[in-house]
């Protein structure tokens, strides 16, 4: 991650006002998020911002994951697993048929 930040250092200059303070109540973080969203100019910028924020989604508790999925209208999809059973039937090995060598037409 540091390599990426070093490559784009010119674009990553932020004001001190953009820092997020620690140990605030949830309303502070909601307001900060809304403030950041208002600064995003188009859907593409929103997409990249959202993809960077959601990197730690897997670390959230299940109830918070469910809440976020419902908020952004993600419906749970059941995985369909098909089981195929292939049965091979062995052929009976029969004795080779004998030719009739005694017949004289």
Report which of 80, 81, 56, 78 is spatially closest to residue 68, judged by C-alpha positions.
56
Mean pLDDT is highest, among 5-14, 16-25, 33-42, 95-104, for 33-42
Q: pLDDT tens digits for 21-69?
A: 888 888 888 888 888 888 888 899 889 888 888 888 889 999 998 888 8
Q: Tell me the whole-structure pTM to 2 decimals.
A: 0.50
The residue written with tokens 């670390």 in the block is 59
SS3 state at 90: coil
pLDDT band at 105 (very low <50, low <70, confident <90, very high): low
pLDDT at res. 104:
66
């Amino acid at each position: 991650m540091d390599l990426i930040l070093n490559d784009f250092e010119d674009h990553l200059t932020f004001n001190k006002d953009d820092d997020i303070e620690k140990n605030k109540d949830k309303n502070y973080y909601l307001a900060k998020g809304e403030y950041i969203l208002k600064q995003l100019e188009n859907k593409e910028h929103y997409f990249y911002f959202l993809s960077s924020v959601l990197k730690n989604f897997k670390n959230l508790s299940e109830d918070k994951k469910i809440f976020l999925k419902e908020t952004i209208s993600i419906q749970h999809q059941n995985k369909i697993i098909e089981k195929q059973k292939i049965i091979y039937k062995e052929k009976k090995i029969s004795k080779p048929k004998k030719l009739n060598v005694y017949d004289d037409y």
